[in-house]
Amino acid sequence: MNKFNIYAYSIECLTNLHVGSGGDNFGIVDKEIQRDQVDNVPIIHASSLKGAIREFFEQAIGAAPDLLKKYFGSDKNEQENLQQGALRFFEARLFAIPIRGTGNVSDYLGTSKKLLGDYNSLAKKMDTAMNGIGLPTINNENAITEFGNTTLVEQINSVGPNIAYLSDEMMKKALTDLPIIARNSLENGQSENLWYEEVIPRGSKFCFFIAVPNDETEYKSEFEDALIRDIIQIGANATIGYGFCKISKLN
């Protein structure tokens, strides 16, 4: 018997996002973003996403310790009565990114068949393995992905009406040439440390899944309602406005 139901969510970046890879880099960019090791597409690792959501519930929502332990598991500093969290978090994969426009359209929100197709493939596999509900199918050459009466394209349209379906090669180039921002540390008004940081631009969208035990009856009221109601901060540099995001439910 399957023990989990799968719920799908989108992340809309309201500001630039930097979730760091954490590794040393000796190239031009000092601080790179997290990427999939196979296809180099930007992602947010499940551990980073879970950590950001836990911090949101602890600090912004003021959730009780028992609720945090129930859904996320024991705190890393706990030594006794350790408990695994009820929820299973999956990495967030990029499915749309702002693209500079031409002519009368200043910018588009770009996606590609590969981005939506990879997401669709993962969703199908989890549906088979973990009893997901309403998972998507690709229904035409543009790889529009459906959740019942709600489509990812409609989710993209919530940001703006100008959708661009890029070829896989064009999208690969766009994801390789992400914005690089110069950061500077000042000591007594003097520049002491200049570094370069890669970011996901505002307006970008990710998808992710949460697996919930099928006997968990209070997930919506205790967890999901707050998750999709408020703004959440993900990644580094919150004090300079990075990483502020809106999470929406897809299925």
What is the tally of structural domains in the chain?
1
The mean per-residue pLDDT over the stretch 227-234 comes to 96
Q: Is the pLDDT of residue 91 over 80?
A: yes
Split at pLDDT 50, 70, 90, the class of 210 is very high
For the chain, what percent of residues have pLDDT higher than 90?
45
The mean per-residue pLDDT over the stretch 118-127 comes to 79
Q: Could you tell me the pTM of the whole model? A: 0.86
Range of the domain at 60: 4-249
CA atoms within 13 A on the CB side of 41: 26
Q: Which residues contact 188 (CB under 8 A, 6 or more apart)?
A: none
Supply the pLDDT for residue 247.
95
CA atoms within 13 A on the CB side of 157: 7
DSSP for 46-79 reads HHHHHHHHHHIIIIIS---HHHHHHHHBS-TT--
pLDDT in tens, 173-191: 999 999 998 887 666 666 6
β-bridge partners, 17: 200
Supply the pLDDT for residue 139.
45
Q: Is the pLDDT of residue 1 over 50?
A: no
Six token digits for residue 79: 């030594």
Supply the pLDDT for residue 154.
66
DSSP code at position 229:
H
β-bridge partners, 93: 43, 207
CB 157 within 8 A of CB 23: no
Supply the pLDDT for residue 191.
63
Looking at every residue in the chain, the average pLDDT score rounds to 83
Lowest mean pLDDT among 20-24, 92-96, 141-145, 165-169: 141-145
CB 251 within 8 A of CB 120: no
CB 242 within 8 A of CB 199: yes
Please count the other Cβ atoms lying within 10 Å of the Cβ belonging to residue 107.
15
Higher pLDDT pick, 122 / 17: 17
Q: Which long-range contacts (CB under 8 A, 24 or more apart) does 215-221 make?
A: 216/86
Q: What angle do CA 43, 44, 50 make, to 5 degrees?
A: 155
Split at pLDDT 50, 70, 90, the class of 153 is low
Q: Is the pLDDT of residue 219 over 80?
A: yes
Split at pLDDT 50, 70, 90, the class of 141 is very low
Instruction: Give the whole-angstrom CA distance, residue 123 versus residue 129.
Output: 10
